[in-house]
Amino acid sequence: MKEIKRWQSKANEPVMEENAQYHIRCKQGDIERYCLLPGDPDRVPLIAEDWDESHFVANYREHRTYSGTVGGVKISACSTGAGGGSLSSAVEELVRLGCDTMIRVGTCGAIQDEINCGDVIIHTGAVRHDGTSNLYVDPTYPAVADYMVTAALVQAAEELQIPYHVGISCSTGSWYCGQGRPGYNGYSQSFIDTIVDDMSKAGVKNFEMETSALFTIAGLYRFRAGSVCTAVANRKKDVFQYGGIERSIQIANRAVQIIAGWDEKLAAAGKKYWYPSL
């Protein structure tokens, strides 16, 4: 068996050699201020294909990281794995390395009739069923997107002429029972049987697993966050059609360029908050 390299650190905030972060294995200088967060590690190189240039930074467990430039803007991408717990580890460490703008890039299951598979959903907020955000703050604290990041995602979708919807997600801690699917051997309970209809009646657009944790932590730590997901299923129509993740990737990559341009205007004007006529 290959010998595992040993190291020692304080337990409250463990860091490795050269102060590399424990989960994402990145250190100061590796991460740019704008970072895209896919769940799947294999989507990181897919995201980087649209960049001007890219380089591999780290790969540990579910966290794969690249950095580079897109449209002349410095950018990073770090996969979070599935669910709020894994996402929170990555986000905690990305913030420590200077990232201040994060966009989740993923897939979801729509629960509104008008949303087709392949359409994109840009999230303004999320129902906190993720199981992680409650460990950070009172459950009544809202999970909301940064309005500037949301506006940039909408503008990007318009420029790229990609079909999109804007609204609220329900982020769950379970892909099966948490999203109204029966568990093993048909296991179910009454709330599992009704959650799709209940959330749909409330105007929720879709189910996924990470957005609410990202938005909650962003609000608490005062960084900017957005979320864009391609619908690969429509639960109301009972259709699953995987594909179209490139649409969310294109929108997110373009949105970063838009945000960077707005940030330059904010700095030049000496303003703290972006507004359309800036």
- Rounded Cα distance between 180 and 175, Å, is 8
Q: What CATH number labels 30-269? A: 3.40.50.1580
Q: What is the DSSP string of 192-216?
A: HHHHHHHHHHTT--EEESSHHHHHH
165 catalytic? Reply is no
247 is catalytic: no
What's the mean pLDDT in 100-105?
98
Q: Is 93 a catalytic residue?
A: yes
Nearest to residue 58, comparing CAs of 86, 92, 20, 84?
Answer: 20
Read off the pLDDT band of 207 (50, 70, 90): very high
Report pLDDT for 149: 98
**pLDDT grade, residue 4 (50/70/90)?**
low
pLDDT of 18: 74
| Boundaries of every domain in the chain | 30-269
Question: Which position among 25, 63, 123, 235 bears the catalytic label?
Answer: 235
Q: For position 19, what pLDDT does the model report? A: 78
What is the rounded average pLDDT for all residues in the chain? 94
Would you say 241 and 117 are in contact if contact means Cβ atoms under 8 Å apart?
A: yes
Are 57 and 241 in contact by the 8 Å Cβ rule? The answer is no
DSSP H/E element including 105: strand 101-110
- Checking if the pLDDT of 268 tops 70, the result is yes
- CA gap 225, 222 in Å, rounded: 9
| Active-site residue (options: 32, 43, 64, 93) | 93
Task: Say yes or no to pLDDT of 15 above 90.
Answer: no
Contact 110, 244 (CB under 8 A): no
pLDDT for residue 43 is more than 70: yes
pLDDT 10s digits, 59-87 = 999 999 999 999 999 999 999 999 999 99
Instruction: Return all residues near 250 (Cβ < 8 A) that are at least 6 apart.
Output: 50, 156, 160, 162
pLDDT at residue number 25: 86
Is 181 marked active-site? yes
Of 196, 141, 197, 145, whose CA–CA distance to 167 is shortest? 145
Query: For 77-101, what is the mean pLDDT?
Result: 95
Residues 6+ apart with CB under 8 A from 168: 123, 124, 125, 126, 127, 203, 204, 205
